[in-house]
Amino acid sequence: MRIGILTGGGDCPGLNAAIRAVAKSLILNHKARIIGIEQGFRGLIEQQVRPLSYADCSGILNMGGTILGTHNSADPFNYKGQDVSIQVLDYYHKLGLDGLVVIGGDGTMAIAHSLAGLGINVVGMPKTIDNDLMCTDRTFGFDTAVSIVTDGIDRLRTTGQSHRRVMILETMGRYAGWIALHAGMAGGADVILIPEFPYSIEEVAKACKNRMGEQHYSVLVVAEGAMPSGGHMTIRESLDTSPDPVRLGGIGNVLKHQLENLIDAEVRSTCLGHIQRGGSPTAFDRIFATQLGSYAASLVANREFGKLVVMQNNQLSSVPLAQVATQSKKVDGHDLTFQSALAMGISFGLPSPANS
Ligand code: F6P
């Protein structure tokens, strides 16, 4: 059996643990030959692959990034304006592959689903710090990102407290608020602003003033995709849609300027950026990526293709790729963490009925 592995989209902590789990399980239990595909789908397009031995996959469990490299805009169906998917299919056959394990987020799974439609045997594995993949309770990489952001909040708290300032921390997450919500909870933020609930700046200012009166400082966490109520496009969307985006400095800075006009306190904004997805995975992400990887290997061995490995109610299972290819998972009002945050008095800047 010859199996290809690729990592697509933005990197995240735990990718090497996942590669290691798939490769070692298939080599140990099925004597498979593993072909590592470099730079995501770009390796299939540009024909850059290399064999991955058992030894190649040893000593990488705790490493950040991906030993295979990745790419977040190499789509065989639209590569530099051309559909090269048939060349990719030919190359897959030329490599003699019996299957392909694709490790990625929603964009990568959409491509994987289309390749499955051409007859490529695909098994998907869910990764992304954003935790926004449908049908799975979580994705690996998320836990590490939340830990890093929580550490950032802890650090901003002590300096904010010393200077009696309003401290803003901008997180990643693209169009979903999972990182901001979970890290905001773990770090005891006073205000959490997420894309799912456009915020009223007046309500945010009110929450800061209340808090400043009692504690003399506050900590705000804002997801990069958050936007004021009545806004039309998030800064994240404008970065994604404009071919030559104007770098405005992110929603954290926008919020800083908005707040400075409304409250009598110094405001500082910090953007953690790619720090959130670099470096070593947490123990949880190493274990989770390994569980997903060995399950993916069993799907491959059983020739159950066209599926994504998922975690649902603490059990591993799989769903058809079609189910995850078109939508992403958002925080909703019934979410347990959101509900607990509300119960703890954390403000989401929700417009009061009178303002809406
Ligand atoms: O999807 C992961 C992610 O880190 C998002 O949170 C963020 O919006 C985006 O990727 C950043 O992408 P890039 O690596 O292209 O800057």
Does ligand 1 come within 6 angstroms of the Cβ of 145?
no
Q: Pull the structure tokens for residue 236.
A: 């994240």
Considering its fold, how many domains does the chain have in total? 2
Q: How far is the CA of 256 from the centre of ligand 1 (A)?
A: 22
Is 316 in the same domain as 204? no
pLDDT at 51 over 60: yes
The model's confidence at residue 9, banded by pLDDT at 50, 70 and 90, is very high
The model's confidence at residue 354, banded by pLDDT at 50, 70 and 90, is low
Is 167 in the same domain as 263? yes
Q: Tell me: is residue 9 an annotated ligand-binding position.
A: no
**What gap in Å lies between CA 185 and CA 120, rounded to an integer?**
42
The pLDDT score that the predictor gives to residue 71 is 94
Q: Pull the structure tokens for residue 151.
A: 């550490």
For residues 261-287, give the mean pLDDT.
96
204: Cα separation from own chain's centroid: 26
The pLDDT score that the predictor gives to residue 92 is 98
Q: Which run of H or E residues covers position 312?
A: strand 307-312
- Domain assignment present for residue 348? The answer is no
- Domain assignment present for residue 306? The answer is yes
pLDDT at 230 over 90: no
- Domain assignment present for residue 109? The answer is yes
The pLDDT score that the predictor gives to residue 73 is 86
Is 170 in the same domain as 196? yes
Residue nearest to atom 7 of ligand 1 (CA): 174
- Domain assignment present for residue 177? The answer is yes
- Helices 250-260 and 201-215: angle between axes, nearest 10 degrees: 70
Q: Decide: 147 and 284 in contact? Cβ < 8 Å.
A: no
CATH number at residue 77: 3.40.50.450
Letter for the amino acid at 259? L
Q: For residue 61, give Cα distances in angstroms to 39, 64, 88, 168.
A: 19, 9, 30, 34
CATH number at residue 254: 3.40.50.460
The mean pLDDT of the chain is: 94
Matching residue, tokens 């692959």: 49
Q: Name the residue range of residue 125's domain.
A: 2-140+281-323
pLDDT at 356 over 60: no
Number of Cβ atoms within 10 Å of the Cβ of 149: 28
Q: Ligand 1 pocket check: which of 127, 130, 194, 234 to mutate, most ligand atoms within 8 Å of Cβ?
A: 130
**Looking at the chain, how many residues does it have?**
356
Is 150 in the same domain as 121? no
Chain segment 157-166, per-residue pLDDT in tens: 999 999 999 9
For residues 86-109, give the mean pLDDT.
97
The pLDDT score that the predictor gives to residue 84 is 97
For residues 38-60, give the mean pLDDT.
98
- Domain assignment present for residue 22? The answer is yes
The pLDDT score that the predictor gives to residue 246 is 47
